Amino acid sequence: MISEQSVVSDRKRSAPSLAPLFRFKKVYAAFGLLLVLLFFVLPVFRLLLLSVLEDGAWSLSHYSGVLREAATWTAVKNTVYITAGSTVLSLVLGVSLAWVMAYVHIRGKRWMQLFVFLPFIIPSYITTLAWVQFLGKSGPVSSLFGWTPDLYSMGGMIFLLGMSHYPLVYLFTIEVFRKIPRELEEAAKTAGAGKMSIFLKVMLPLALPGIASGGLLAFLSSLDNFGIPAFLGIPANIRVLSTYIYEQVVGFGPSAFARAAVLSVLLGTIALLGTFVQWLLLKKSRVTETVMPDREPRIYVSPLRQRLLEGGIWLFLVVTSFVPFAAMGALSLIKAYGLPFHLENLSLKNYQYVFLTDPKTGSALWNSVSLALLATVVCLAAGTALAYIRYRNPGFFTKLAELCITIPYALPGTVLALCMIFAWMQPVPGWNPGLYGSIWILLVAYITRFFVLQVRGSYTAFLQVDPSMEEAARTSGAHAWVRWRRVLLPLIMPGLAGGALLVFLMVLTELTVSSLLWSTGTETIGVVIFNYEQAGYTTYSTAFATVLVLAILAGGLLFTAFSSRWERKVMKKQ
Partner 1 sequence: MIQLHNVTKQYGPFTALHSVNLELKRSEFTAILGPSGCGKTTLLKLLAGFMKPSSGEIYMDGRLSASKSELIPPEKRNIGMVFQSFALWPHMTVYDHVAFPIRHHRHTREEWKQDIVARAQHVLKLVGLEQLFDRYPSELSGGQKQRVALARAIAPLPDILLMDEPLSALDVELRMEMRNEIQRIHRETQASIIYVTHDQGEALAMADKIVVMNGGKIEQIGSPEEVYTKPETAFVASFVGKCNMIKGKWDNGQFCPEAFPWESWPDIGITDSLKKEGLCPVRPEQWQLAGGSAEGLKGTVLSVQYQGKEVHYSVEVDNEIWIVHQPIFARRFQIGDTVSVSVKAAKRIEVPVF
Q: Which residues are near partner 1 by CB under 8 A?
A: 1-8, 11-13, 15, 17-19, 22, 466, 468-469, 471-479, 482, 486-487, 490-491, 570-574
Closest to partner 1 by CB, 5 or 237: 5
Give the nearer residue to partner 1 in terms of CB position, either 520 or 574: 574
Integer CA distances (angstroms), 126 to 131, 459, 513, in order: 9, 31, 16
Q: Which is nearer to partner 1, 445 or 491 (CB)?
A: 491
How many CA atoms, within 13 angstroms, populate the side-chain half-sphere of residue 228? 30
Minimum distance from residue 487 beta carbon to partner 1 (Å): 6
H/E stretch holding 505 = helix 489-508
Q: Which of 252, 502, 489 is nearest to 375 (CA)?
A: 502
Minimum distance from residue 395 beta carbon to partner 1 (Å): 10
Residues 6 or more apart whose Cβ sits within 8 Å of residue 495:
457, 458, 460, 461, 462, 464
Min separation Cβ 481 and partner 1, Å: 10
Closer residue to partner 1, CB minimum distance, 393 or 519: 393
Closest CA to 69 of 247, 228, 272: 247
Considering the complex, what minimum distance in angstroms separates the CB of residue 491 from partner 1?
Answer: 7
Q: How far is the CB of 482 from partner 1 (least distance, A)?
A: 6
Query: Which of 235, 256, 254 has its CA nearest to residue 246?
Result: 256
Question: How many Å apart are CA 448 and CA 412, to the nearest integer?
Answer: 13
Measure the CA–CA gap between 159 and 229, rounded to whole angstroms.
11
DSSP per-residue codes, 448-467: HHHHHHHHHHHHHHHHHS-H
- For partner 1, the closer CB: 8 or 428: 8
Nearer to partner 1, 250 or 472 (CB): 472
Q: Which is nearer to partner 1, 15 or 70 (CB)?
A: 15
Q: Which of 397, 387, 527, 542 is CA-nearest to residue 452?
A: 387
Closer by beta carbon to partner 1, 107 or else 474 = 474
Cβ closest to partner 1, residue 149 vs residue 395: 395
Shortest Å distance, C-beta 392 to partner 1 = 11
CB of 461 to partner 1, least distance (A): 14
**Dist CA 162 CA 36 (whole Å):** 34
**How many Å apart are CA 550 and CA 321, to the nearest integer?**
14
Nearer to partner 1, 190 or 468 (CB): 468
Q: How far is CA 151 from CA 163, 272, 296, in A?
A: 13, 29, 40
What does the alpha-carbon distance between residue 569 and residue 574 come to, in Å, rounded to a whole number? 10
Select 22 or 58, whichever has its Cβ closest to partner 1: 22
Q: Is 283 exposed, middle or buried (0-12, 13-18, 19+ CB in 10 A)?
A: exposed
Residue number, 17 or 288, with CB nearest to partner 1: 17
Please state the closest distance from residue 391 (CB atom) to partner 1, in A: 15
What is the smallest separation between the CB atom of 566 and partner 1, expressed in angstroms?
Answer: 9
**Strand residue runs (E) in 17-93:** 53-54, 57-58
Q: At 267, is the secondary structure helix, strand, or coil?
A: helix
For residues 96 and 508, is the Cβ–Cβ distance under 8 A? no
CA-only gyration radius of the chain, Å: 26
Task: Give Dmax (Cα) for the chain.
Answer: 93
Cα separations in angstroms, 436 against 102, 422, 474, 519: 48, 9, 47, 9
Q: SS3 letters for 405-448?
A: HHHHHHCCHHHHHHHHHHHHHCCECCECCCCCCCHHHHHHHHHH
* Closest approach of partner 1 to the CB of residue 404, in Å: 24
Distance CA 512, CA 490 (A): 36
Q: Could you tell me the smallest distance in angstroms from the CB atom of residue 494 to partner 1? A: 11
For the bound state, the minimum distance from the C-beta of residue 291 to partner 1, rounded and expressed in Å, comes to: 14
Please identify, using beta-carbon distances, which residue of 1 and 343 lies nearer to partner 1: 1
Q: Give the 3-state secondary structure of residue 236.
A: coil
